[in-house]
Amino acid sequence: MAADTKKLMAKIQGLPPERIAEIEDFVDFVRAREQDRALARAAAAASAPAFAAIWENPEDDVYDAL
């Protein structure tokens, strides 16, 4: 276990049970948010080739300078 993880675990272990429950809820929230962001990045990456023909065309090159 990394030193920073050990320090965090020691801090958490020193808290009362109700605070540990709050921390668990927060960790769940952060993990869910990260999963949502990863899904959004994956969707954007997957759709980029489909939109490339629309986005990359000579008629719209003037907008690249904006």
**DSSP string covering 32-47:** HHHHHHHHHHHHHHHH
**Residue 58: which domain range?**
16-64
Report pLDDT digits (tens) over 2-48. Answer: 999 999 999 999 999 999 999 999 999 999 999 999 999 999 999 98
For residue 9, is it within any domain?
no
For residue 29, is it within any domain?
yes
The structure's pTM equals 0.62
Q: Which one, of 31, 12, 32, lies nearest residue 22 by Cα? A: 12
pLDDT: is 64 or 38 the higher one?
38
For residue 48, is it within any domain?
yes
pLDDT of the residue at 43: 95
Q: How many domains would you assign to the chain?
A: 1
pLDDT of the residue at 21: 95
For residue 59, is it within any domain?
yes
How confident is residue 62, by pLDDT bands cut at 50, 70 and 90?
confident
For residue 8, is it within any domain?
no
For residue 7, is it within any domain?
no
For residue 1, is it within any domain?
no
Dist CA 39 CA 41 (whole Å): 5
Q: Which one, of 48, 15, 60, 1, lies nearest residue 24 by Cα? A: 15
For residue 2, is it within any domain?
no
Dist CA 28 CA 23 (whole Å): 9
